[in-house]
Structure 1
Amino acid sequence: MRRFLKRHPEQAKRTANNIAKKRAITEAGVREWFHNVNDHLLQNHVEDVLTDPTRIFNMDETAFFLVPRKQRVLAAKDCKAVQALSANSDKENYTVLISGSAAGNLVPPLILFPYKSRIPASITNSVPKGWAVGRSDSGWMNSDAFYEFISAVFYPWAVKQNVKFPILLFVDGHSSHTSFETVEFCKTKKIILVSLFPNATHVMQPLDVAFFAPFKKSWQEELNKWRFENNGAMISRADFAPLLEKAIDRMANKEASLINGFRKCGLYPFDANALDYELFPKPFDRPSSLTENVPSADDCQAPEMDRNLHFMQMMNKKLTPEKLSLFREQRNNLIWSGPVEDTTMFYFWRNTMDEIEGLPEFIIIDAPFVMIEGDHASFADDSANSLNNEATNTTEDSSFINVPGPDVSDFSNNLSHDSEKPEAEAELCEPYQETTRVETEPNHLGNISNTHMGVVGNRQKKTKRKFLAVATSEGWAEIYIQGEQEKMEKENAKKRRIEERENKKKIRLEEQRRKLEARKQKEVLRKQKKALKKPAAAKNTKQKQNTSN
């Protein structure tokens, strides 16, 4: 190898990044994505949004670790193993959702903590004013948390900042970003939700390209400073938000980083030529292997693919030409608009095609501000929610409004379920509630209610109170205040019930005392009457004896 490189100085050893064939992006695909987005905006007469940087946003989450990565320390030259002790686990991290506009404006971030119920007050009280705090079972982003952030934080913030609607929001293709509830809310509030080209966030997402790197660097510096000042103490969850705020304030040129990110990704100005296509992998750019040939994963899967392809061919033969043509026409549509009796067959056929040929480049939902109504909405709702549990599904192969198709195994369940649409309110939208939850009276804080009651047979069974997934720090404070008020009301009600029982007991004892006194009086009168009758009876007896004598 050394002699070969000497003969060919233009060649060099490089570490290749492994990219699956279906994940490799191409210049033609990216340019088509730009063309599709532009055409969609033109068709709906909202192309003016591309000319206003205050109306173009990008939103993405990232993880912040509590232990500094790759610390540089002083050590002896002959020391090969250098270790740094930390009070926190090196795997402990929290998810933060960052949003910014092409004008350089940052939206209040969302911090997610792993809690299944209410977040402790010590944590929410430490969060800066206006920031959002959320929870999920794993601490990762899910569809409920993303929907509640959009409806309860992002949209009210945009209204308060007098941002002109409609606005353009770019997100990646994760299923939590494109649930039916989120899409429906965005269409109602004139938020054009656009999924970036699949597997291209490293070159097309402004936050990934230009903002997260300096942000993480500032976070590392603030983390090292805190550890030094606190003698390496353990960082608690209540310390996380204040540290993150200092890291943001510490960042230099925050606005410039956001603006440059949108420009470099071609999102503002909206220009497909702004991307550096030289960085894209070429179809035949394959580095020479330095190891012996071994069968690739694709080669090992060839028999499986042949079986799937044979199954697809057999299935297409069973369909009539008219029905097969109709299926192919509507493959890119989210909702089946053909005959109702062919609904299940269409979704099964589409998922089989997706398994064999891969997902389509884009999925058409509808005009951006038109409500999806009817039974199809319930199917889309269930199918989107069923995919939210797949945490490993980080991207989806769609290049427009992206809602992945349902899994084949869930058809019977998905088609039989009903869904409920969130009502659009003037300012805040009530957070999405699953169909298994008990509906309660809404208020300005969302799903904040008294203890739910579920009817079991002829008796009522108390169920656990359901808290919000996301709320601002002020919202959580109001939740705690309301919780304390409810607690006081329950305690007062309990005291009243105890007092009522005591009063009833006193009344009952008084009644028993009066009855006992009455019985005693009756007994005394009876004895008195008996005592009066006894001398008279003795006198009569004596008279009778005298008479007989």
Structure 2
Amino acid sequence: MRTPQGMSAARIKSFTTENVSKFFDLYKPQYNKLREPFHRVFIVDETGITVVQHKYSKVISLKGKRQVSSLISAERGKLITVITCMNAADVYIPPLLIFPRKNMKAELMLGAPTEAIAECHISGWVQAEIFTKWFKHFIKFTKPSASDPVLLVLDGHCSHTRNIELIELAKENYVTIICLPPHSTNKMQPLDVAFMFPLKTYYAQEIENWLRENQLSTVSPYAVAGIFCKAYNRAATMEASCNGFRKTGLVPLNRHVFRDSDFGVHQTEDQPPVEVTDYSEAQGGCNGNEEQLSDNADTALNLKERTKQVNNSCADAPPNDDIESIPANIPEPFRE
């Protein structure tokens, strides 16, 4: 027995063989233009972290104890968005952290990953102008050129696809951008497949370690960058990058990486139309058979009356072996 993982109906309906084939039809020509796909194909995605760990490590407890508690920093925390990017050759672009506040302070990046950058927004979510700044950060590290272009794969978030400045920068700097099919990142996004889960797990463990070292203290936004750095360095491995690209069929290119069982069963076979009887036309036929229907009803009533008479006579008569209980010519449904 296994506990199933929740999946929305939109993901089941959108992840189809047709959508996957259309994506690879666009992806393959751009992939073949690259001299070193392992080094020049990059994937980018966003994830959210808070000052409260989303899972807890298992502990040894007394048998029969009803409740086992674990220390957390707060009841709930504000969202901090992290933009991460990698390729299949263990190259990770330094992340960008978005803090939920108006003004930026240098103290927020204490202990952050090397050469990571930060931005602030009141919601803590990625915006078009913030993602454009990250893209300039991406160009700085990848250094694309006409002889050595870069292929960037991302999802269809509005900050990516409805960003004119981003598209112009990509054209000017020899970066080709391809968007994944909608609602399919859980299957086709290498970061979601192989990187995000261990990152979240290590981040929760690092928060627990921080709380043990700082008894009865709360994790402030100024400590998040240092905690995240430890988890990020543990998760950013060669194994994660290679497995993510291999399982999604992006690098090396494998458009048949998904089997039939990977696609959700949401389409049913065409069923024949249901025949609807037009009772207005059938009414004439019923009227023509009124006499036959009335004769059948009279016959049924006569049979019932005969059955009652026989039963009454049998109940009043003395026991006698010569008396027949029910006439043989009475139909089966009316026999007692």
Equivalent residue runs for 1:203-352 within 5 Å: 203-251=187-235, 254-284=237-267
Residue number in structure 1 paired with 2:22? 32
Residue number in structure 2 paired with 1:190? 174
Confirm or deny: 8 A CA contact 2:100 2:121 kept in the other structure.
yes
Residue number in structure 1 paired with 2:159? 176
Q: Distance in 2 between matches of 1:93 and 1:125?
A: 18
Q: Does 1:131 align with 2:134?
A: no
Secondary structure of 1:273 counterpart: coil
Q: How many residues align?
A: 266
Deviation digits for residues 70-108 of structure 1 (CA, Å, limit 9, x no counterpart): 323455544444444433233433111110012121100
Deviation digits for residues 277-302 of structure 1 (CA, Å, limit 9, x no counterpart): 4121123479xxxxxxxxxxxxxxxx
Confirm or deny: 8 A CA contact 1:172 1:198 kept in the other structure.
yes
Secondary structure of 2:84 counterpart: strand
Confirm or deny: 8 A CA contact 1:25 1:199 kept in the other structure.
yes
Q: Distance in 2 between matches of 1:263 and 1:164?
A: 26
Confirm or deny: 8 A CA contact 2:40 2:151 kept in the other structure.
yes
Q: Distance in 2 between matches of 1:91 and 1:285?
A: 44
Stretch deviating more after TM superposition (202-211 or 266-275) = 266-275
Q: Distance in 2 between matches of 1:260 and 1:15?
A: 21
Residue number in structure 2 paired with 1:537? none
Q: Does 1:166 align with 2:149?
A: yes
Residue number in structure 2 paired with 1:518? none
Confirm or deny: 8 A CA contact 1:50 1:270 kept in the other structure.
no
Q: CA deviation at 1:261?
A: 0.6
Matching residue's letter, 2:209: K
Q: CA deviation at 1:142?
A: 0.9
Secondary structure of 2:55 counterpart: coil
Identity fraction in percent: 28
- Name structure 1 gaps, 5 residues minimum: 1-11, 287-549
Q: Distance in 1 between matches of 2:124 and 2:94?
A: 19
C-alpha distance 110-148 of structure 1, shift in aligned 2 (>3 A): same
Confirm or deny: 8 A CA contact 1:104 1:259 kept in the other structure.
yes
C-alpha distance 285-88 of structure 1, shift in aligned 2 (>3 A): farther
Confirm or deny: 8 A CA contact 2:110 2:226 kept in the other structure.
no
Q: CA deviation at 1:267?
A: 0.7
Residue number in structure 1 paired with 2:100? 114
Confirm or deny: 8 A CA contact 1:60 1:97 kept in the other structure.
yes
- Name structure 2 gaps, 5 residues minimum: 270-336
Q: Distance in 1 between matches of 2:45 and 2:12?
A: 23
Secondary structure of 1:234 counterpart: coil
- From 35, 49, 69, the equivalent of 1:64 is 49
Secondary structure of 1:194 counterpart: strand
Secondary structure of 1:281 counterpart: coil
Residue number in structure 1 paired with 2:75? 89
Q: Distance in 1 between matches of 2:186 and 2:248?
A: 9
C-alpha distance 16-129 of structure 1, shift in aligned 2 (>3 A): closer
Residue number in structure 2 paired with 1:141? 126
Secondary structure of 1:261 counterpart: helix
C-alpha distance 163-104 of structure 1, shift in aligned 2 (>3 A): farther
Q: Distance in 1 between matches of 2:224 and 2:166?
A: 28
Deviation digits for residues 186-231 of structure 1 (CA, Å, limit 9, x no counterpart): 1111111111111110110000001111222222222211111111
C-alpha distance 214-50 of structure 1, shift in aligned 2 (>3 A): farther
Deviation digits for residues 362-405 of structure 1 (CA, Å, limit 9, x no counterpart): xxxxxxxxxxxxxxxxxxxxxxxxxxxxxxxxxxxxxxxxxxxx
Deviation digits for residues 333-380 of structure 1 (CA, Å, limit 9, x no counterpart): xxxxxxxxxxxxxxxxxxxxxxxxxxxxxxxxxxxxxxxxxxxxxxxx
Secondary structure of 2:203 counterpart: helix
C-alpha distance 201-128 of structure 1, shift in aligned 2 (>3 A): closer
C-alpha distance 184-99 of structure 1, shift in aligned 2 (>3 A): same
Q: Distance in 1 between matches of 2:6 and 2:210?
A: 37
Deviation digits for residues 437-464 of structure 1 (CA, Å, limit 9, x no counterpart): xxxxxxxxxxxxxxxxxxxxxxxxxxxx
Q: Distance in 1 between matches of 2:5 and 2:92?
A: 36
Q: Distance in 1 between matches of 2:266 and 2:142?
A: 43
When normalised by structure 1's length, the TM-score is 0.45
C-alpha distance 75-13 of structure 1, shift in aligned 2 (>3 A): closer
Q: Distance in 1 between matches of 2:254 and 2:116?
A: 33
Confirm or deny: 8 A CA contact 2:55 2:204 kept in the other structure.
no
Q: Distance in 1 between matches of 2:201 and 2:5?
A: 25
